[in-house]
Amino acid sequence: MKEKIRVGLLLGGQSVEHEISILSARNVYEAMDRNKYEIFLIGIDKEGRWHFSDERIFLENGMKTRLKSLPDDGNFLVLVPGGERQSTFSLYHTRGNMPVDVIFPVLHGTHGEDGTVQGFLTLAGIPFVGAGILGSAIGMDKEVTKRLLRDAGIPTPHFRVFHPRDLPKMDFAALGEEMGLPFFVKPVSLGSSVGVHKVKTRDEFFPALQDAFQYDTKILAEQFIPGREIECSILGNDDPVASLPGEIIPRHDFYSYEAKYLDKEGAILDVPAQLSPALIRKIQETAVHAFQVLNCEGMARVDFFLRGEDLFVNELNTIPGFTAISMYPKLWEVSGIPYRELIDRLIQLALERFEREKKLKTSYEG
């Protein structure tokens, strides 16, 4: 019998999306084929400690939102210099070597989706699902994302970047003139619509800036694109493929934190979206192009605004939600890849990329 692949599911994390991550991870965990995989749960609590846990400890305790840290059972993960694979470090849990072949980081946001965990796993020489360090870091930074998109000729809403030192010079009238009214103000590297504001009047301007600066040291002012919100899922490394697009129809002024998480009827997900074949093709091509330009690997969800026939890329998510109702897996489901098979493919892509990178020379032989 073929040996099972040992998969570490990394979940939780020090991010505002901790609980969403656990919901996603629980769905991934339940869907994985036990004949193919041996599964290990690695929970990161809100204090940032890595626990090598059994199901009971993390999937249950971790959901208690007020619980900052998990019970200390002494079974933490550590990174030890001196690699067993061809790497300089090894991951151990306090009772022995960590026996995984691949890690699936089901983490969202800060310290999960931003390249930090990807750097840690790269040092440890462990294959992992999704974008590497660079693609993850780019995807987390809306300024860098938008500059690269613009450079590649992929339309994205017009924007300006501001630092706290710019505050005294920030002029509502001038920005309104440049962007049109309303315009958006948002932190550069957050998610879940936290700190995102639609600014319509002068009175709303400074409170929006102040709020956005609470979350980040860089903020964006961005042209408002009235229209539809369309999302497309991408899967692959060198030869990525695009799913059918889906549509988010928010029932609020925009797709705010409330609409995403607090209001059960805050938004409708229309899957697949009602679009002409020509527009579907254009969305898929643009999504693949953006995925490649931004150095993504494995998976990503590409989010668009559609105004008439004009398409703008808003952002990319390198670790999209994986709950049963999340857009990323739902789009693959209607495009012919069921949830369980999607997980198989993502793990295969992680292993393939690792093997390919292992072949790169690490010394110059002339």
Ligand X SMILES: Nc1ncnc2c1ncn2[C@@H]1O[C@H](COP(=O)(O)OP(=O)(O)O)[C@@H](O)[C@H]1O
Closer Cβ to ligand X, 84 or 258, answer by number: 258
Least distance to ligand X from the beta carbon of 177, Å? 17
Least distance to ligand X from the beta carbon of 189, Å? 9
Closer Cβ to ligand X, 119 or 266, answer by number: 266
d(CA 91, CA 78): 6
* Residue 77: Cβ-neighbour burial (10 angstroms; 0-12, 13-18, 19+): buried
What part of residues 279-308 is at the interface with ligand X (CB under 6 A)?
A: 305
Whether cis (ω within 30° of 0) applies to the bond prior to 272 is: yes
Q: Could you tell me where the DSSP H helices lie in the chain?
A: 18-31, 55, 116-123, 133-140, 142-151, 172-179, 202-215, 257, 277-293, 327-334, 339-358
Task: Lay out the site mask for ligand X across 136-165 (x = CB under 6 A, - = otherwise).
Answer: ---------------------x--------
Least distance to ligand X from the beta carbon of 173, Å? 20
What part of residues 251-270 is at the interface with ligand X (CB under 6 A)?
A: 254-255
Residue nearest to ligand X (CB): 255
d(CA 76, CA 153): 46
Least distance to ligand X from the beta carbon of 16, Å? 10
**# chain residues binding ligand X, by CB under 6 A:** 19
- If one asks whether residue 314 binds ligand X (CB under 6 A), the answer comes out as yes
What number of residues does the chain have? Answer: 366
End-to-end Cα spacing for the chain: 44
Cα 295–chain centre separation: 13
Closer Cβ to ligand X, 83 or 227, answer by number: 227
What part of residues 180-239 is at the interface with ligand X (CB under 6 A)?
A: 184, 186, 190-193, 196, 222-225, 229
Footprint of ligand X on this chain (CB under 6 A)?
157, 184, 186, 190-193, 196, 222-225, 229, 250, 254-255, 305, 314-315
